[in-house]
Amino acid sequence: MEIIAKELEYRYHVNTPFERRAIYDINLAIKPGSYTAVIGHTGSGKSTLLQHLNALLQPTKGSIRIGDVHIVSGKREKHLKPLRQKVGIVFQFPEHQLFEETVEKDICYGPLNFGVPEEEAKERAREAVRLVGLPEHLLQKSPFDLSGGQMRRAAIAGVLAMKPEVLVLDEPTAGLDPRGRAEIMEMFGRMHKEKGISIVLVTHNMEDACKYAEHIVVMHKGTIYRQGTAKEIFSSPKELLELGLDVPESIRFQLRLEEKLGEPLGEPCLTVEELIDRICGRLERGKER
């Protein structure tokens, strides 16, 4: 499913003294089967943009096309239920939305609400827990008897049971320890590769953006400041730091090393491994001289 935004703008509290423009002049194309990361400091408009991707918000100017559904400002689109089945959103701390007696009932809630027969919903629940790496026997447990990491996975399973074509992730690893964060991100990476699900990741973690995303969108003050591949985005790391954004730790170290050496080491290294290879290569060339 392709998502295309054209001149997209959204204002909160329109025609009131509290009117505020949250995003504007958004031109963005998310291709089917792609992995896109959206980065930007707090207040840059990331979450507002995210809520347009399954029409939780509708534009006050411009338009957004989500698959076959074309949403235009000034025209209220009403029949959005099928769309929200195809675009699933995992908000921060999704485990806070668990509420049913058992994990199975919680995962089945969405499919049943969309008219899926009970037996099929239960089969979807079994498949979803396998996808998120939970043992099947936990389906009969209360979600509130699970560990924090298991609750996060159970909540994500509830979104996956809807069989979305696009998965929007709003800081999905917030509050997790480093091991839990790595496991969750690897899980989404596998889903993207094996299932062909389009993923839109909203994150403050630049390492995750570099490692997984094919396309990165930088938000700043409500609009798209820049977009491109990781190499393109981080080719000017000092500029991003001046905007209040983070950069991968490997680039931070490279900048400090270049300052000590008094000379550049070449284009920014997106991973520690790449930086080590660059430094080793430079040392070898130094020996040859």
What confidence tens digit (pLDDT) does each residue in 68-120 have? Answer: 999 999 888 777 888 888 999 998 889 998 999 999 999 999 999 999 999 99
171 within some domain: no
Q: Look at residue 7 and tell me if it is in a domain.
A: no
Confidence of residue 288 (pLDDT cuts 50, 70, 90): low
pLDDT over threshold 80, residue 142: yes
Q: What pTM did the predictor assign? A: 0.90
pLDDT digits (tens, 9 = 90+) for 238-280: 899 988 898 999 999 999 998 998 888 888 999 889 999 988 8
Q: Are 132 and 156 in contact (CB under 8 A)?
A: yes
**Span 30-49, average pLDDT:** 94
pLDDT at 287: 67
Domain-embedded: residue 271: yes
pLDDT at 31 over 90: yes
Q: What is the pLDDT, as a whole number, of residue 289?
A: 59
Band (281; pLDDT cuts 50, 70, 90): confident
Q: Which of 34-43, 223-232, 258-267 has the lowest mean pLDDT?
A: 258-267
Residues of the domain holding 261 = 247-288
Question: Which residues lie below 8 Å from residue 169, measured CB to CB, with a gap of 6+?
Answer: 90, 188, 199, 200, 201, 202, 203
pLDDT digits 0-9 by tens, 193-219: 998 999 999 998 999 999 999 999 999
Mean pLDDT (the chain) is 92
Domain count, the chain: 1
User: What whole-number percentage of the chain has pLDDT above 90?
Assistant: 74
